[in-house]
Copies of this chain bind each other. A is one copy, B any other.
Amino acid sequence: MQDRFLRACRREPVDRTPVWFMRQAGRYMAEYRALREKHTLLELCRTPELAVEVTLQPVQRLAVDAAIVFADILLPLEPMGAPFEFARGEGPLIHHPLRSRADIDALRVIDPEEGLGFVLQALRLLRRELKVPLIGFAGAPFTLASYLVEGGRSSHFERTKTLMYTDPEAWGALMDTLSTVVSRFLCAQLDAGAQAVQLFDSWVGALGPRDYEVFVMPWVSRILSEVGARGAPVLHFGTGTSTLLGLQRRAGGTVLGADWRIPLDRAWALVGDGVGIQGNLDPTTLFAPRALLEERVRDVLREAGNRDGHVFNLGHGILPGTPVDNVAFVADLVHTVTERSR
């Protein structure tokens, strides 16, 4: 197996900087759109053979150094007792947003094999086929809680934060339940064949450092310690977290995600030597002309300085409408520019 990605996660020397892209399987690819004409997003996620097919699409098309199982961070919510749908153009809608302590207490701690067996099955199938490492993932408890409480996407997260502030006990119960589910799910993904896992705390950048430290960090820390004990790399991701990176580093993870708002070298200086960094190209630069795109990729690589522990990625997922050729170009460019002479 080509293990550049896993070696970088462990901060071991690599022949070239590894590259993969968040949401590398998705709507920007014609192959994916063709499948989506026949199936809903949730059907793709819940049918292991289809999830495998979608997961492999970018691996076949792009020189990526890792595959990430096709799934969605919200998948655990339905078996936990919080069904949802993807409304056209509006993102996820939770049918019954959490409004009381009773709603929180009614959430079920699920056995991953029962409630999320289709993801685990996709991982088992993928592991047999892949020549590159396989990444599993889950949403982090704050990000999941924000969907459950707000009922969907949010700009200001005022319901979530209000719950946190006004009823810390109920908040703790919610975080405890979500953390238990997430931790078990990530471990089950490792058991099923994932060689690394990523924790997506996509919206945690809405919090100030103190709120993060008091209301979120203990739970993330518990998850990362439980999952990290398995020995496989754990990637710890967020966006808008420039001022949280130090705390996220303390919470744990083998590799920390940084977005384009912070220069990669500054991010690394904040978290120190004992951890890798993943990032941090702005996904919108994939819409730019080649010259500018190349310049921005080279900026990231120069800031990384071929340090062991850099995993090239975007600062957030690939956007729909992104030209596939530009994504392929970036993967190739990263490999060319970072080839180490030995």
A binding-site residues for B, Cβ under 8 Å: 153, 155-158, 161-162, 165-166, 205, 207-211, 240, 242-244, 260-263, 266, 282-285, 287-289, 292, 296, 299, 316, 319, 321
Contact = CB atoms under 8 A, between A and B. Distances in A.
A41 to B, nearest CB: 18
A289 B165 contact: yes
Nearest to A299: B210
- The dominant DSSP class at the A interface is loop
27 contacts: A156-B283, A157-B284, A158-B284, A158-B287, A158-B319, A161-B284, A161-B285, A162-B284, A162-B287, A162-B288, A165-B284, A165-B285, A165-B287, A165-B289, A166-B289, A207-B261, A208-B282, A209-B261, A210-B296, A211-B282, A240-B261, A242-B243, A242-B261, A243-B261, A243-B263, A243-B266, A244-B261
A240 to B, nearest CB: 6
B162 A263 contact: no
A284 B287 CA distance: 35
A32 B259 CA distance: 40
Nearest to A244: B261
Contacts of A299: 210
A211 B211 CA distance: 29
Contacts of A261: 205, 207-209, 240, 242-244
A261 B319 CA distance: 25
A244 B260 CA distance: 12
Given A205-B261, A210-B299, A288 B242 contact: no
A287 B242 contact: no
Contacts of A244: 261
Contacts of A166: 287-289
A26 B153 CA distance: 23
Nearest to A240: B240
A281 to B, nearest CB: 9
Contacts of A158: 284, 287, 319, 321
A12 to B, nearest CB: 29
Nearest to A283: B156
A106 B124 CA distance: 58
A285 B158 CA distance: 9
Residue from A208, A240, A243 with most neighbouring chain B CB atoms (10 Å): A208
Contacts of A292: 165
A156 B153 CA distance: 13
Contact of A208 (B165, B208, B260): B260
Contact of A156 (B157, B243, B284): B284
A20 to B, nearest CB: 20
A305 B115 CA distance: 52
A165 B244 CA distance: 29
- Residue among A157, A266, A287, A316 having the largest count of chain B Cβ atoms under 10 Å: A287
A286 B317 CA distance: 33
